[in-house]
């Protein structure tokens, strides 16, 4: 469907004529009969549900409230839930309207899973149904479907009394889920069920050369995310679930580096190899912590505030730490630098780029005079470069969408992802700065549609460590069941 590039979790209109989706910071709808997408409102990411009366509910990150907007377009407003607590209940997600178009299911995200609740438009009251670990879908004539212990189950549910009845009944086995509760199943209002086995999360760490030849780093797949190499390339720290792990690349041994219960993600190694900075939700939506790379000392808070923050780079001279931050649902992501010189005694964050758009994942050139980052100011994510720390000029580098920029160690190339392509751009640093034409190096089966952390470039740019989806995950067939609810009556 033209114009739907970069789509994030599409959803249907009640009459099945339109598909709603979020892409490039906008919620849009597109007529399946043809025509270009139409913008409904600004939106970061999330899931949506479309009522028969033309109201769309959608969620965002775990720090955002659920919001509602007219399907014809407008300014979204928060949906105040749970008697108005927590300013619209951040962490409420997975909305789905019930048949009356007024009541809706949603899940409240917490540290141990999800609590399924029922809300009603125009009211702050809600009803708790049960706890689960995955999203829940409603199906006529009255069932709730979800995954429990890798088994797809159906729970009888009365949409009028809003009561759960009886015990859950198994429908299919071997379904995987990911860390946020996604599971591969879908059910229609006309009695069609589809589900897919295998793991949703998980990846393999694979070296690619510039021509796409693959060499596994190690064979065991896992829920790997962002990776960061030590300066001497002998160790690697990476996300595994909600904690960081350390890999000794010479000995082939992995050990745990951080210990929950909070989520610890997005590690960046210091240029001297002595410390690792990462984002933690121990005291808020995402604060910056530093820990000795030896793992023998407790982590120390580096920057704690009410903003959600993710570190992206540490300058080669050790003077600046770059991070992305935002303060709430109505603010975009901005770029900041944190001074890191102990002698100066100044750790006051410095704003780098602050606009109404989303600017994220800044990385510095080896000489720390230029900064590459991604922004959706054009309507989709593209890669830009500007001077650092004070910008006088800005250059757009990507030409057909781009995320997740990285520099070659000598600064003569810049890399980024565009869809399934890993792109390379010749760069000339200095006065004047110049960028060549982007060209694809190879295609890769990147493990997830996320903005950052799916590859790392070797210093010479001759090979790249890529997080790829396991082959078994890609080849897993889907099962379709017609009139599935009839089997529950026997």
**Residue 79 pLDDT:** 85
**Residue 110 pLDDT:** 67
CB count in 10 Å sphere of residue 130: 14
Do the Cβ atoms of 151 and 103 come closer than 8 Å? no
Return the structure tokens found at 414.
């810049």
Residue 448 has φ and ψ, to the nearest 5°, of -160, 160
Measured CA to CA, the distance from residue 221 to residue 55 in angstroms comes to: 41
What are 195's strand-pairing partners? 185, 479
**Residue 83 pLDDT:** 47
Measured CA to CA, the distance from residue 51 to residue 41 in angstroms comes to: 17
Q: What is the DSSP string of 38-62?
A: EEEEE--S--EEE-TTSEEEE--ST
DSSP strand pairing (264-269 vs 275-280):
antiparallel
Q: How far is CA 202 from the centre of its chain?
A: 14
Q: Measured at the alpha carbon of residue 459, what is the angle toward residues 456 and 465, in degrees to the nearest 5?
A: 25
Q: For the chain, how many residues are written?
A: 490
* H or E element, residue 475: helix 471-475
Return the structure tokens found at 208.
């690619």
Average pLDDT per 10 consecutive residues for the chain, totaling 490 residues? 78 95 85 92 84 91 77 89 50 87 87 81 89 89 89 92 92 72 83 78 83 84 80 90 86 87 87 94 86 91 89 94 77 88 70 89 96 88 94 93 93 92 94 94 75 84 87 69 81
**Domains, the chain, ordered by start:** 8-200+476-489 (2.120.10.30), 203-469 (2.120.10.30)
Q: Coil, strand or helix: which one is 395?
A: strand
Residue 466: Cβ-neighbour burial (10 angstroms; 0-12, 13-18, 19+): buried
Bond preceding residue 141 cis, omega within 30 of 0: yes
**Residue 183 pLDDT:** 79
Measured CA to CA, the distance from residue 34 to residue 367 in angstroms comes to: 49
**Residue 408 pLDDT:** 96
């Amino acid at each position: 469907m033209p114009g739907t590039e970069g789509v994030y979790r599409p959803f249907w209109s009640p009459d099945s004529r339109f598909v709603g989706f979020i892409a490039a910071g906008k919620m849009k709808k597109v007529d399946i009969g043809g025509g270009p997408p139409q913008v409904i409102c600004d939106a970061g990411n999330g899931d949506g549900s479309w009522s028969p009366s033309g109201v769309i509910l959608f969620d965002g990150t775990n720090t955002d409230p659920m919001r509602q907007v007219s399907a014809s377009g407008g300014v979204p407003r928060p949906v105040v839930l749970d008697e108005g607590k927590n300013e619209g209940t951040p962490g409420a997600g997975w909305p789905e309207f019930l048949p009356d178009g007024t009541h809706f299911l949603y899940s409240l995200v917490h540290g141990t899973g999800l609590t399924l609740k029922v809300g009603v438009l125009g009211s702050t009251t809600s009803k708790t149904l049960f706890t689960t670990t995955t999203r829940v879908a409603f199906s006529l004539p009255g069932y709730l479907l979800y995954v429990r212990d890798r088994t797809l189950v159906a729970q009888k549910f009365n949409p009028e009394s809003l009561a759960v009845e009886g015990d859950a009944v198994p429908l299919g086995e071997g379904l995987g889920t990911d860390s946020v509760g996604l599971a591969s199943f879908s059910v229609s209002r006309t009695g069609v069920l589809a589900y897919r086995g295998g793991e949703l999360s998980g990846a393999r760490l694979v070296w690619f050369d510039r021509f796409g030849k693959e060499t596994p780093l190690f064979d065991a797949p896992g829920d790997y995310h962002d990776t960061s190499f030590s300066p001497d390339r002998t160790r690697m720290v990476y996300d595994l679930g909600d904690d960081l792990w350390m890999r000794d690349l010479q000995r082939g041994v992995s050990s745990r580096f951080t210990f929950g219960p909070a989520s610890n993600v997005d590690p960046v190694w210091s240029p001297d190899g002595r410390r690792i900075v990462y984002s933690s939700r121990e005291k808020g939506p995402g604060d910056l912590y530093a820990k000795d790379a030896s793992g023998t000392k407790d982590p120390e808070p580096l920057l704690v505030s009410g903003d959600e923050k993710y570190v992206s780079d540490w300058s080669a001279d050790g003077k600046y730490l770059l991070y992305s931050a935002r303060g709430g649902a109505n603010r975009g992501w901005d770029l900041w630098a944190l001074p890191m010189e102990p002698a100066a005694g100044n750790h006051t964050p410095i704003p780098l780029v602050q606009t109404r758009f989303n600017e994220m994942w800044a990385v510095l050139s080896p000489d720390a005079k230029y900064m590459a980052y991604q922004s959706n100011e054009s309507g989709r994510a593209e890669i830009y470069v500007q001077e650092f720390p004070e910008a006088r000029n800005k250059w757009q580098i990507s030409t057909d969408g781009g995320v997740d920029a990285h520099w070659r160690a000598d600064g003569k190339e810049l890399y980024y992802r565009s869809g399934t392509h890993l792109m390379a751009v010749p760069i000339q640093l200095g006065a004047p700065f110049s960028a060549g034409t982007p060209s694809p190096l190879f295609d890769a089966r990147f493990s997830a549609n996320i903005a950052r952390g799916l590859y790392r470039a070797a210093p010479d740019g001759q090979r790249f460590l890529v997080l790829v989806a396991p082959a078994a995950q890609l080849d897993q067939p889907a099962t379709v069941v017609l009139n599935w609810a009839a089997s529950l009556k026997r």
